[in-house]
Amino acid sequence: MRKYYLLFLVLSCLALSPSVQGHTVLNNTVVFVRFADETETGPGAVFQTNTIEHYDSLFNSTVPGYNSVINYFTQASYGKLTWGSRLFPAPAGSKVMSFRSRMERGYYEEQSSVNPTGYPKGNATAMEARRSGLVKEVVKYLDQNIPAGYQVDANSDGIVDNLTIVLSGTSAIGNTHLLWPQRQNYILGDSIQGKRVVSFLMVFDESNGFKLGAANPNIPLNTGVLCHEMSHNLGTYDLYHNAKDGLNPVGVWDLMSNIQPVAQHMTAYTKWRYCHWLDSIPSISAPGTYTLNPIGGNTDENVAYKIQPVGHREYFVVEYRKKEGFDASLPESGLIVYRVNPDLTGGNLAYNGTTRLDEQYIFRPGGTTTSDGNLSQAAFSADNGRTAFGGAAAQRPFYSDGTEANFAIANISSAGAVMTFDLLASAHRIVLSQTAVNLSGQAGSGATVGISSDGDWEVSGVPAWLTLSKSEGRGGDTQLVLAAQSDNTTGAPRTAVITFTDKAYSSVTATLSITQNEKTNESVVLYEDWENTSNPNGWTVQNSDTRGWDLTRTLQTNRGLYRSYEGTHAATLIEAWDDAHEEQTLVSPVFAKGKTLEFWSRTTAANKNPANNPQFYNVDVSSDGGATWTTLFNCLTDYPLDAAGNTQSGKYTKLTIDLSSHMSDNMRVRFHCYDTGGKGLAYFWNIDNLKILGLPTGITRLTVTDASHNAIYTLDGRYAGRNIQQLPAGVYVQGGRKLVKK
C-alpha cells in the first residue's frame, strides 16, 4: 500500500487485441464485513454510501473505458487475464448486506484508555492473532454460505484464487495498524469448498490509506488499491521503500508503488517478471533506430527494450508510457528509462542502501543514489525537449553503486501513436567478473571467471602451472574456468597476471591476477569451493523440481539473498514456499577414509521450528557408497550458537562434523533437504569451502567408475591432474591402477 495522489478522470476507450494463447481466468471472492458493534440499518448503519450496483460495476463492469477491476486486468494483461468478482452476502435489493464479526471494531484497534479491549501498541503477535481470527470467521461463513455452482478456484490449482475482505468504514492512518489496506498470507489451513485459503486482501469501504485534508474527501474503495493488492497474488512486490529515507525509486510509474484512485499500468519488467503477461523484453545492442508501442496500448509487441552493457548483471529498460486510459494519472507522456537489478527480485520494500538495494529504479533529473531528484519529469520526449540520455547528454545512466553505465540513446521522438529513439554506438570494453582470484595449494584447485566483451578477445601471459578452459573467445559473455596444474610446493604463494585483449582494438585490455596458495600439510581427502563450474569432482544434484540445489549461480560475498563465503560461487539451496512438496539433495563423489567434514554454512533454517510444515535440512553420511544414509546434523535442531547464545541465521558459520565412526573405503556425504507438510522449503542454504579430512596415509580418494573420468591422484589421495606426462616424477593412482612417472 502506498500514498495516493488525488485524481479525477474518465478512462478513454482502448480496444483490446483478442488473446487466447495463455489465457487465464480467475475468480475474486468479495465479502463485506461489519464489526459486532455496527448495524446494517438505522442511524449509524454501515455500507450506506454506495449501492451494490456501484460495487458490482467497480469490480465487474466490462463497458469499454469503464474504471473497473476486470477491465484493468484485461487491459494490463493484453487480454491474457480475466479476473471477475462475486460479492457476498447477497444484497437486499440495491442495499449492501454484510457479515457480522464476533468482535467489536475496537478489538482490532490499538489499546488505549478509551479502548481497553484493543491490542497493545506495536504487539505484532497480538495483531496477527486477531487478524487471523477475523479471517477465520469470514472463511467459515463463506464455506457454509457460498451457493453451489460458484467456483472459488477457477484455475483448478486447489487454492482459492483471491479473497477480498471489504471492512466497513475507514482504515487507520498508517501501516503500523491492523486496520490498514493489506494483502497477507493465511497460514491456518482453512478451506472454502475444499479449496485452501493461502492469502487474503483487506480493504475498506470509505477510506483506504489516509484522509487528503479538509479540502478533499476520503478516498473510497477504488481500482488503485484493489488492483495493487490483488496483483500481489500474481507474484508482484511493492516498489516503494519501507524506510523513511526520502527516496522514491519508482513512484507513480508503476501500480506497485504510488497507488492512484484509478489503477495505473505496471512497468514492462513487472508485467514480464512477475505477472507473465509479456513473453520477453527484447535485448538490443546494435546501434540503430528503434520503435516503441505504449505499454498501456492494444498490443504486447515492442512495448519495451532491454539494454545491458557488458560486464554487469544489472541492465536497463526503455518503454513508452502514454498519458491515457489507465495511465491518465501519469505526469506526462514519454519514454522512461529504468534500471533493473535481477539479483534483487522481491521489489524495493527492504531497501537499506547497503546490503539491500532497489530491484527497479526509474531515472529522473537530479536523481542519484542519495538524492531523489524530480520523478515527475522522468519521461523523455521531443515534446518536453529531453531527447537524449547517456553519453554526452546532461543526464546519464548509473548502476546501483553509482558508477556510470556505458550506453546512450538520442533523437527521442515526440509522444504519438508510437515513439522512436536511437541507440548510439559505444566504445569497446572487456570486463571481468573479478580482477583477482585465489586458488588453494592443491592441484586441481579452480575458479570460474566471467568475461564480458564487446568484441572477440584472446588471452596471454598464462604460466605453465595454470590451465584455462579457453584461450580466446567471441564477443558477449563467456565463463572461463581456470585450474592449477600442480600442487604449489614452492614454500610460498605463487602469482600470475594474465591479460585479455580485444582482437580488433589492442588498447582494450583487462587483467586478471591469480594466486595459488602454498600447499598445506593437511590430509585433505576432498576439497570443494564450487568455483570451477564444470564440477570436476563429480558432485551430484538430485532435485525434485526446478528449484533445489544450484552449483553454477554467480554470487557475491556481501550482497544478495544468496552469497558465497569466498570467491563467486557456493552450493546454493533455493528457498521456495510454493505449496508443493520438495526433496532436494546434493551428493558428494565417493571418497575413502574421511574422518572430518568441515564447511562454511549460511542458512535461514538455523534452529527454526516450522511447525505448520515440518522441514529437514540434514547432513548425512554413507559408508556404502550411498546405499544407506545416517543423519549427523540438522540445521533446524543442531545449529551452533555464538558466544552470546544467539543463532547465526543468515551469516556464515564454520561447521565441523565428525565422520570417524562411519569411515570406510566407500564413503559419501550429502546435504538432504525436504519437507513433510507439502508446502515446500522455506529456508535457503549456502555451503562453501568444504573439506573432508582423512588419515595421513593411504589412498583416500577413489575415482568415479565412468571410464571418461581419468583424474590422477597422489598416494595420499590428493588430486594431481589428468595427464601423467605433465606431472613430476612419482607414484600415482588412476582408475584404481598404480602409475609410476620416472
| 453 phi and psi angles, rounded to 5 deg | -140, 140
Contact 450, 510 (CB under 8 A): no
Give the pLDDT score at 206.
85
pLDDT tens per residue across span 204-256: 998 776 444 444 456 789 999 999 999 999 999 999 998 889 999 999 999 99
**Cα-based distances in Å from 244 to 99, 374, 704:** 37, 18, 57
Residue 679 pLDDT grade (very low, low, confident, very high; cuts 50, 70, 90)? confident
Give the pLDDT score at 731.
64
Instruction: Return mean pLDDT, the chain.
Output: 89
Residue with cell 537524449: 388
Give the pLDDT score at 524.
83
pLDDT tens per residue across span 686-742: 999 999 998 654 443 333 333 334 567 665 555 666 677 777 776 666 654 556 666
Give the pLDDT score at 203.
93
Q: Which residues contact 684 (CB under 8 A, 6 or more apart)?
A: 561, 562, 572, 573, 574, 575, 603, 604, 605
Q: Which residues contact 668 (CB under 8 A, 6 or more apart)?
A: 587, 588, 589, 590, 591, 621, 622, 625, 626
Q: Count of CB atoms within 10 A of residue 737's CB?
A: 8
Average pLDDT over residues 671-695: 92
Give the pLDDT score at 717.
55
Contact 576, 699 (CB under 8 A): no
Give the pLDDT score at 702.
38
Q: Could you tell me which residue, 557 or 87, shows the higher pLDDT?
A: 87
Residue 68 identity (one-letter amino acid):
S
Residue 3 pLDDT grade (very low, low, confident, very high; cuts 50, 70, 90)? very low
- DSSP-derived letter for residue 239 is -
Average pLDDT over residues 398-402: 95
Give the pLDDT score at 697.
40
Q: Distance between CA 603 and CA 637 in Å, rounded? A: 13
Give the pLDDT score at 649.
83
Q: Which of 627, 640, 634 is nearest to 674 (CA)?
A: 634
Q: Which residues contact 14 (CB under 8 A, 6 or more apart)?
A: 64, 65, 75, 296, 297, 298, 324, 325
- Which residues, listed in sequence order, are joined to residue 483 by a DSSP beta bridge? 446, 467
Q: Could you tell me which residue, 5 or 210, shows the higher pLDDT?
A: 210
276: alpha, beta or left, given left = phi > 0 and alpha = psi -120 to 50?
A: left
Give the pLDDT score at 362.
99
Q: Which of 527, 498, 502 is nearest to 512 (CA)?
A: 498
Give the pLDDT score at 533.
83
pLDDT over 90 at 440, yes or no? no
Residue 445 pLDDT grade (very low, low, confident, very high; cuts 50, 70, 90)? confident
Burial class, 710, CB count within 10 angstroms (exposed 0-12 / middle 13-18 / buried 19+): middle
Average pLDDT over residues 634-653: 88
Residue 674 identity (one-letter amino acid):
Y
Q: Distance between CA 362 and CA 328 in Å, rounded? A: 19
Lowest-confidence region among 504-513, 520-529, 655-664: 520-529
Give the pLDDT score at 703.
37
List, by residue range, all CATH 2.60.120.260 domains of the chain.
Answer: 528-694
Contact 23, 231 (CB under 8 A): no
Q: Which CATH homologous superfamily contains domain 430-520?
A: Immunoglobulins (2.60.40.10)
pLDDT over 50 at 1, yes or no? no
Contact 360, 340 (CB under 8 A): yes
- Grid cell, residue 710, equals 581419468
Average pLDDT over residues 119-126: 93
Q: Could you tell me which residue, 585 or 729, shows the higher pLDDT?
A: 585
pLDDT tens per residue across span 170-205: 888 777 889 988 999 998 889 999 999 999 999 999
235: alpha, beta or left, given left = phi > 0 and alpha = psi -120 to 50?
A: left
E-only strand ranges, 283-382: 288-292, 304-307, 315-321, 334-340, 360-362
Give the pLDDT score at 559.
75
Residue with cell 600439510: 521
Handedness of CA 386, 388, 389, 395 (dihedral sign): negative
- DSSP-derived letter for residue 271 is I
- Grid cell, residue 385, equals 525537449
Give the pLDDT score at 716.
52
Handedness of CA 269, 273, 274, 276 (dihedral sign): positive
pLDDT over 70 at 589, yes or no? yes
pLDDT over 60 at 280, yes or no? yes
Average pLDDT over residues 94-104: 96
List, by residue range, all CATH 2.60.40.10 domains of the chain.
Answer: 430-520
pLDDT tens per residue across span 463-489: 999 999 999 999 988 999 999 999 898
Give the pLDDT score at 189.
87
Give the pLDDT score at 422.
98
pLDDT over 50 at 17, yes or no? no
pLDDT tens per residue across span 410-429: 999 999 999 999 999 999 99
Lowest-confidence region among 49-63, 247-261, 641-655: 641-655
Handedness of CA 49, 52, 58, 64 (dihedral sign): negative
Q: Could you tell me which residue, 76 or 717, shows the higher pLDDT?
A: 76
pLDDT over 60 at 20, yes or no? no
Give the pLDDT score at 444.
83
Residue 546 pLDDT grade (very low, low, confident, very high; cuts 50, 70, 90)? confident
Rg of the chain over Cα atoms, rounded to whole angstroms, equals 30
CATH class of 528-694: mainly beta
pLDDT over 50 at 632, yes or no? yes
pLDDT tens per residue across span 484-518: 999 898 889 999 999 999 999 999 999 999 999 98
